[in-house]
């Protein structure tokens, strides 16, 4: 029986294989400023965002970024202005902020830490 490379099921099934990150967007979104957005992969690790996929506004004066994953999106988050789910994110200054997860509105709410 001839050996055919890649035919063994073990080649495809491995418990160590990381699950693919579920995408938040099925199609490329438009930015709320009206410009198109480009899908890019984060290479820098400024905020622990290395290898995360994101959409970036092509308008250089806007430069809005929205991540294409579900990190920080939770059931208990507040709803945004378009009645959609929000993403909670820790900013560099230590403030926790909720924003429209799909970047479709200007919703912004800071979590007050008493
Ligand atoms: Zn924009
Ligand atoms: Zn919204």
CA angle 101, 107, 108 (to 5 degrees): 95
Per-residue pLDDT averaged across 43-57, rounded?
Answer: 85
Report the distance separating Cα 3 and Cα 104, nearest Å. Answer: 53
3 band by pLDDT with thresholds 50, 70 and 90: low
CA of 17 to the centre of ligand 1 (A): 36
CA of 64 to the centre of ligand 2 (A): 14
Neighbours of ion ligand 2 (CB under 5 A): 80, 82, 84, 100, 104-105
Condensed to tens digits (0 to 9), the pLDDT of residues 54-96 reads 999 999 999 889 999 999 999 999 999 999 999 999 888 889 9
> 25 near 103, Cβ under 8 Å?
no
Rounded to two decimals, the pTM is 0.72
Sequence length of the chain is: 114
pLDDT of residue 114: 66
Report the distance separating Cα 101 and Cα 73, nearest Å. Answer: 7
Condensed to tens digits (0 to 9), the pLDDT of residues 8-30 reads 444 444 455 455 778 999 999 99
């Amino acid at each position: 029986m001839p050996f055919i490379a890649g035919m063994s099921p073990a080649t495809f099934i491995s418990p160590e294989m990381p699950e693919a990150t579920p995408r938040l967007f099925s199609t490329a979104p438009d930015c709320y400023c009206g410009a198109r957005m480009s899908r890019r992969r984060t290479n820098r690790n400024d905020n622990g965002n290395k290898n995360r996929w994101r959409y970036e506004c092509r308008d250089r004066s806007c430069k809005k970024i929205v991540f294409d994953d579900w990190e920080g999106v939770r059931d208990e988050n507040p709803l945004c202005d378009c009645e959609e789910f929000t993403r909670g994110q820790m900013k560099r200054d230590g403030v926790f902020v909720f924003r429209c997860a799909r970047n479709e509105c200007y919703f912004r709410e800071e979590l007050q830490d008493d």
